Each structure stands twice: as structure tokens, then as C-alpha cells.
Structure 1
Amino acid sequence: MSVLFEAVYEGHRYVGFDRGPAVTLHRVADGQVAEAFVEANGSASALRASLTSGAKTVSVSIDDPGLRFLPPLLPAASGNALLSGFMGTHKKKWDGRTFAEGDEFVPPKWFFKGFGDWARLPGEPLTVPAAPVALIEEPEVLLVYVNDADGYPHYAGYTFGNDLCDIGLHRKDNGYNPYCKLCDTAVAPWLFLDAPPRTVTGRVTIVRDGATAWEGPFDCGADALYYRVRDMVEHLFSFPAVRRPGLVNYVLLGADEASFHDGFRIADGDRIDIDVKSHDVAFSNEVRFTGPVPPGR
């Protein structure tokens, strides 16, 4: 599986095409990678040639402390990328059934998480409101699209995210779901240059005070979903608001059952370790409860 990533090193933005232990970085300008995806129109060789031809390069260790990774294709300007996703997509939530040809398509519920620069990278804290009802980690496939000058969305690839949210608030009242989603989302920096994956398996471990407090498996590939990915995406992009020219869209495809369904409750300071074993991707983030803003400020 081909992989692309973007990072900042010594004040410059770069793109890379492997995961180390030593990597060659090719200097790029803000937005250049997104534009290259549009111009390449699905050709991996054209994409690589566009981003490497004539570019200044530097070789570094993948764990160099000066290498700061970025969410894939993230524009420097806030508001030029959107992070959103679908709910209730897994077969487990549909009695094990899958959408069949000929069935009437009823789109899944959709939610907005925030702008692209709200995404948190591995190792960064995930902040939530001071008194959540009941948090849930949600390891998910995250698709990346970039719109061309006419607003047509071009698929770039996929990575993985943790759609942390307050499921307890959602269950208290479905109308509170927009509030429930106002928790930070972790996004892995590795963009897989392939079609959305059919099989994604892994394991979640929640660490509290240095010890494992809960762990369990997950499956979030397309074969685990009731809906077809194509149908969900086509419906989302039927709305002009997400087809603004130049906009980057990060789209979460939904999560398996998790610690909440096993009776576990995430606490302030817990560390969520997500190991996507099928794709050799692992990322960790600490959960931090944040206090309310004092009145009058």
C-alpha cells in the first residue's frame, strides 16, 4: 500500500512517500499537494512526479524531534478544510444486515466535527468539556477529498481517526448530537493512496495511571458497514456547501462498538491507544477535561 505524508521541518513544508526509519522529504508549498491530487486525477505516478520533480530534498529520521507531522492535505488557512462524518453505519447497528441492490437508499445521519485544523495529531491531547456525560472512543476510517476549481471532489486516499465524542449526551437527547461531537478528533498523518479499505481491524487500549484499564478489538472497514461507501459519499457531495472550490474534506465513515458498550467510562487523563493492526498504524492521545470559561471573560 502506497503512503504519503506531509510535515513541517526546519520551518518548511515537505511531503514524503514512506514511513522510514529514514525518509526523504520533498519541499512543497502550502496547497501544492492538494493541487497535485487534482491534476494527477488518480494517477499515482503523475502525483509523485509532480511533487518530486525539481523539489529540494532532505533526508531525516522518521522520529526526528524536529519533524512535525500534519493532517494529510491540511491547508494553512483555517476554514479551508472540513472534518465531518457519518453515524450508525455499522452492520452491528442494523442487525448484521447490509444494504442490498434495489433497496431504497436512506442516507445515514451526518455530523460536523469542525474545521480541518481542529484535528489533533498522535501524541497531542484530546480536549473535551469539563463534565461529559459518557465519552466514547471511535476508531474510524477517514477519507480525504479535495475539490477542484469547479467544486468537483477528487478522492485523495484514506487514513484513520479517533472520533472521540460524548455518547452519553447523545443518548440523553438525540438533538444534543451537535454538542456531543464537540470533542477533539485524532487523525493519523499517513495517507494511504488506495481505494477505501474493505477490511480494517485493530485493537483499542485505554491506559489509566500507567496500567491497562480497558481493551478491545474493532473493525471499521467497508465490509463491516451496512451502507456502501460510494452511496454515502455521493449523497454528501450532493450538497453544494461541501463542494466549495479548493475545499479539503475529511470524512469519517463510522465506528464499531467500543469501551462505552462494555460498560467502561473514560476519565480525565486516560490515554487512548489505537492500533490499526491491519495497516500497521498506531496512535495515542491523552484525554483532557477542560474547565468552563469564567463568567465575564
Structure 2
Amino acid sequence: MRLIQCDHQGQARAALVENDEQVRLLEGDTYQLARRAIASGQPLATIVETARTDTRLDYQSLVDDRRLLPPLTHPDPAHCLVTGTGLTHLGSADTRDAMHAQAQLEESRLTDSMRMFRLGLEGGKPAKGREGAQPEWFYKGDGSSVAAPEDDIPVPAFAADAGEEPELAGLYVIADDGTPWRVGHAIGNEFSDHVTERFNYLWLAHSKLRACSFGPELLVGELPEHLEGVSRIVRDGATLWEKPFLTGEANMAHSLANLEHHHFKYPNFRRPGDVHVHFFGTATLSFADDILTRDGDRFEISLPAFGRPLRNSLRFETSQPDTRVQAL
């Protein structure tokens, strides 16, 4: 089952994807449906079935009119936390090391990235009920940092780079008793400033404080262990760069359960009512192939199991607000 959210008569509404051309409108938005499922103890798929309306919408028109919304949102963007984990995918350490241009002289002088990656290889998939190795973790922002599918991703004037990161994103709602509930998964473009990160790894936190996007579709139910997709950059109507990518647990050093545990073990990430968007990492970056993006470039990330691709164009900002602090 796949869901989208769209702007319908000025309100966010969830819709069931019936086929590539048509969606059926549901009563309420995805957040409301998820809360209803949690409160009733029923699967989300059951709640969706009872929320169907007789209204069907043309999918392509929603795309063309830019009426698509992220497939899960919170009414108050401040109560949506966007985070992620890195060095989780097989091959991701090689990509990171190449990006940082750090030569590995000998086994005893492993980079921090390689050490973190090896921790995942050795302990990222623990037996059920046991705690595995901690992954790299980062914060990206709140719901205001999320660009809707088909919308532009803003690039701040101070940014040194604007690079895509094709990933899976886990989408969650926290119940009133503090239990995290996974609503489903979506295609994500985690989007980072790789030049800033490459300058000094301690600037990783700065490089991640950028916009992002996920969707357009939310996959409800079991996630395939092996997923094959394509990440593409289109410039002036022609493909500038294209590369396949692998994701899913079969292609990861960590299990999703381990990544979820190390995120939600912190009490402040189990605040009742909050929404969480958590990116699970990637091993495929155009930046690693020396691609420098520019204004108007369009990212296209596709995974067949998730329906339509996630598409966003870049919008480079030329000025920034005065951020000088005033004294009271």
C-alpha cells in the first residue's frame, strides 16, 4: 500500500495510490490516520480502508500543479524532527574517504570514517533483543526544512555545495505513551553541503543543516530487503549525471532496527505527538564523481517499489538575512 499527501481545497489530505494515474482521497491527513491507528490498536492499512472517500484525483495533475506535499507532516512543523545516520551502507566508507581525499597509509592509521564503518560491519546487525554498534548520527532541522516533492530545494547563500543524497527515510509518529510507531518508508533526498564537510569532518554538523525532501509516496508495510534505484541530475532538459544505487538491509552494515534503537533511545526523541523523519544513509553521491551542481539543476531519485520518483530542482539564494544578535 502506498499513500501520498496533497493540497486539496487548501487542506492537507492523504490519498491512496490506486495506480500510476489515479489516487483516491482519504478522510484526513496521514498524521491523523496514523494517530487513529495507534489509538485503536489497528494496522494503518485497516484505517486507510475505512477512510476511503469516493473522490478520485488525477495523479499527474497533482504533480503538474505542484499540489503534492511530503507524505507525512505535523500540523506544527516545530514538532517534526529531521535526523539521519551515515556510514550505514556497504561501500559508504570508501565513498566518504574518497570524498575527504584521505589516503590510508596502513591498517593502524584508519580514518575515523573507516573506524565507524567497521563498527557497523562488526556489530551493526545484532541478534534480536540485543543492542548493536552506535552509528554516526546527525540533526538536519525541523519540518520547516522539508521541501515538498516537485518543489525547489533552497541553497543558502553561504553554502559551498549543494549535493543530493539518495536514501531511504523512515517516518514515525510518537504515541501518547511515548512509544515510537513507524508509519512507513519513503524515498529521501537527504541533501548536504559536501564541500563544507570535506574541509573538516568536524564541520559535518554544519554540512547537514540544509533543506531536504522525501516522498512523494509513503510505502506502508514490509520493506524489501534489497532495493535498486537510480539517482539522476538533469540540467537544461538533459541528463548530466546518472548512477544506480542499492539500499535496503541486504545492502547495509546496520539493521534498520539498530538504527531506530539508537535514535529513539533518547527520551527527548520520544515526545508524545511528534513526527520523526530519519534518513538511513547512502553510498552514492554525484559529488564523489566531481559533479558541481548549479541553479536550476533537478534531482530525480527513483525506487520502483516506491512508485513515482522524488524530483526537486535547486534554487540558489543570493542573499541572506542579517543574523546579528541584538541585546535587550
Residues 158-184 of structure 1: CA deviation (Å, up to 9, x unaligned): 111101101121121122122211222
Q: SS at 2:151's partner residue?
A: coil
Report if aligned partners of 2:187, 2:310 keep a CA contact under 8 Å in 1. Answer: no
Please identify, of 84-93 and 196-205, the stretch whose mean Cα deviation from structure 2 is larger: 196-205
Measured after TM superposition, the shift of residue 293 of structure 1 is 2.3
Q: How does 1:38-117 map to 2 (within 5 A)?
A: 38-39=38-39, 41=41, 43-52=43-52, 57-65=54-62, 68-92=67-91, 93=93, 94=117, 97=121, 99=124, 101=126, 105-117=132-144
Distance in 1 (alpha carbons) for counterparts of 2:208 and 2:196: 10
Report if aligned partners of 2:145, 2:210 keep a CA contact under 8 Å in 1. Answer: no
Report if aligned partners of 1:124, 1:285 keep a CA contact under 8 Å in 2. Answer: yes
Distance in 2 (alpha carbons) for counterparts of 1:261 and 1:173: 16
Distance in 2 (alpha carbons) for counterparts of 1:45 and 1:225: 28
Report if aligned partners of 2:2, 2:218 keep a CA contact under 8 Å in 1. Answer: yes
Q: How does 1:139-150 map to 2 (within 5 A)?
A: 139-150=166-177
| Alignment pair present for 1:285 and 2:312 | yes
After superposition, the Cα gap between the structure-2 partners of 1:31 and 1:221, relative to the gap in structure 1 and judged at 3 Å, is closer
Query: 2:33 is aligned with what amino acid?
Result: V
Report if aligned partners of 1:144, 1:156 keep a CA contact under 8 Å in 2. Answer: yes
Paired positions, count? 293
TM-score relative to the length of structure 1: 0.88
Q: SS at 2:245's partner residue?
A: strand
Measured after TM superposition, the shift of residue 100 of structure 1 is 5.3
Residue 16 (structure 2) aligns with: 17
Residues 76-121 of structure 1: CA deviation (Å, up to 9, x unaligned): 2221211111011112124794645479833111111111242112
Report if aligned partners of 2:249, 2:256 keep a CA contact under 8 Å in 1. Answer: yes
Report if aligned partners of 1:123, 1:284 keep a CA contact under 8 Å in 2. Answer: yes
Report if aligned partners of 1:139, 1:220 keep a CA contact under 8 Å in 2. Answer: no
Measured after TM superposition, the shift of residue 57 of structure 1 is 4.2
Please identify, of 138-147 and 202-211, the stretch whose mean Cα deviation from structure 2 is larger: 202-211
Q: SS at 2:171's partner residue?
A: strand
| Alignment pair present for 1:171 and 2:170 | no
Residues 255-275 of structure 1: CA deviation (Å, up to 9, x unaligned): 122211122222222111212
Distance in 1 (alpha carbons) for counterparts of 2:241 and 2:248: 22
Residue 189 (structure 1) aligns with: 216
Q: SS at 1:281's partner residue?
A: coil
Residue 243 (structure 1) aligns with: 270
Distance in 2 (alpha carbons) for counterparts of 1:28 and 1:209: 38
Distance in 2 (alpha carbons) for counterparts of 1:30 and 1:231: 26
C-alpha root-mean-square deviation of aligned residues, in Å?
A: 2.6
Equivalent in 176, 184, 188 of residue 157 of structure 1: 184
Any stretches of 5+ residues in structure 2 without a counterpart? 94-116
Q: SS at 1:186's partner residue?
A: strand
Distance in 1 (alpha carbons) for counterparts of 2:303 and 2:173: 25
Residue 230 (structure 2) aligns with: 203
More helix by share: 2
Any stretches of 5+ residues in structure 1 without a counterpart? none
Residue 130 (structure 1) aligns with: 157
TM-score relative to the length of structure 2: 0.80
Measured after TM superposition, the shift of residue 131 of structure 1 is 4.9
After superposition, the Cα gap between the structure-2 partners of 1:119 and 1:296, relative to the gap in structure 1 and judged at 3 Å, is closer
Report if aligned partners of 1:74, 1:117 keep a CA contact under 8 Å in 2. Answer: no
- Percent same amino acid among aligned pairs? 28
Please identify, of 35-44 and 76-85, the stretch whose mean Cα deviation from structure 2 is larger: 35-44
Distance in 2 (alpha carbons) for counterparts of 1:183 and 1:230: 26
Residues 208-243 of structure 1: CA deviation (Å, up to 9, x unaligned): 233222111111222111111111101111101111
Please identify, of 190-199 and 226-235, the stretch whose mean Cα deviation from structure 2 is larger: 190-199
Residues 20-70 of structure 1: CA deviation (Å, up to 9, x unaligned): 423321232684223123135462453224534xxx542221223568222
After superposition, the Cα gap between the structure-2 partners of 1:172 and 1:17, relative to the gap in structure 1 and judged at 3 Å, is same
Distance in 2 (alpha carbons) for counterparts of 1:294 and 1:129: 10
Distance in 2 (alpha carbons) for counterparts of 1:161 and 1:149: 27
Q: SS at 1:218's partner residue?
A: strand
| Alignment pair present for 1:32 and 2:1 | no
Residue 273 (structure 1) aligns with: 300
Report if aligned partners of 2:188, 2:310 keep a CA contact under 8 Å in 1. Answer: no
Measured after TM superposition, the shift of residue 294 of structure 1 is 5.8
Query: 1:48 is aligned with what amino acid?
Result: V
